[in-house]
Amino acid sequence: DQQVKQNSPSLSVQEGRISILNCDYTNSMFDYFLWYKKYPAEGPTFLISISSIKDKNEDGRFTVFLNKSAKHLSLHIVPSQPGDSAVYFCAASIGENNDMRFGAGTRLTVKP
Amino acid sequence: DGGITQSPKYLFRKEGQNVTLSCEQNLNHDAMYWYRQDPGQGLRLIYYSQIVNDFQKGDIAEGYSVSREKKESFPLTVTSAQKNPTAFYLCASSRGTDSPLHFGNGTRLTVT
């Protein structure tokens, strides 16, 4: 049973516009959430994280929003750049175990 | 230069043979992980280890085995009991609780 879900397999946006990637989770015990970026034939690289005590975390062009009541998080990229084109994974973990569960990924394409 | 090294990048085996994938880290991280990526399914957790000489099963441990004799090393053996071993395997490490995972560049295993 997939505990972390990314329901949009792909997203295409124009350069300079906002990209919004969404993620839903089912396990209310998750308390640490992350976004990773991945290029083909490489390992994912960490982008940004948020703990369950916050509802927003910002790092440059990247902002993660967490809505605990809806069990939903999103990643906003503003402005989007062609170099942002990659597969984005959301992930979540519970406390001490840090045994992270990942969504299926969303392929973002930013068109020049 | 600190990081995670997975070797080899590509591995080919005949059906019925066991094969061991190597993962070494020099980040001095306590926790290490193995994930499997299949198309459209994201990353699925196979095994993880939070400390030397201890490891736990993830969501898809059947047909796999691991050892953690040294902090730096977490090899994964894909046994002949694994029904669909062909996949992209990713190793990761982290400092522990509420810390992002750092990934290697993966090993693509093909079993024919």
Q: Output b/e per residue, B86-112; b: 16+ Cβ within 10 A.
A: ebbbbbbbbeebbbbbbbbbbbebebe
Which of A33, A72, A75, A26 lies closest to A52 in space, CA to CA? A33
Cis peptide before A79 (omega within 30 of 0): yes
Residue of B nearest to A37 (CA): B103
pLDDT of A1 > 70? The answer is no
Average pLDDT estimate for B76-94: 94
Rounded distance, CA B29 to CA B95, Å? 5
**Distance (Å, rounded) from C-alpha A56 to C-alpha A59?**
10
Q: Which residues of A touch B55 (CB under 8 A)?
A: none
Kindly tell me if the per-residue pLDDT of B2 is higher than 80: no
How confident is the model at residue B1, as a pLDDT? 59
The mean pLDDT of B16-40, rounded to a whole number, is 93
- For β-strands A106-111 and A10-14, DSSP reports them as parallel
Residue whose structure tokens are 């990659």:
A86
Segment A59-75 mean pLDDT: 97
What confidence score (pLDDT) does residue B39 get? Answer: 80
Find chain A residues with C-beta within 8 A of B56's C-beta: 97, 99
Instruction: Point out which residues pair with B91 in neighbouring strands.
Output: B34
Answer yes or no: is pLDDT of A96 > 80: no
| The pLDDT of residue A57 | 97
First to last CA, chain B: 36
Nearest chain A Cα distance for residue B49, angstroms: 9
Flag if A41 and B106 touch (Cβ within 8 Å).
yes
Nearest CB to B58: which of A41, A99, A103?
Answer: A99
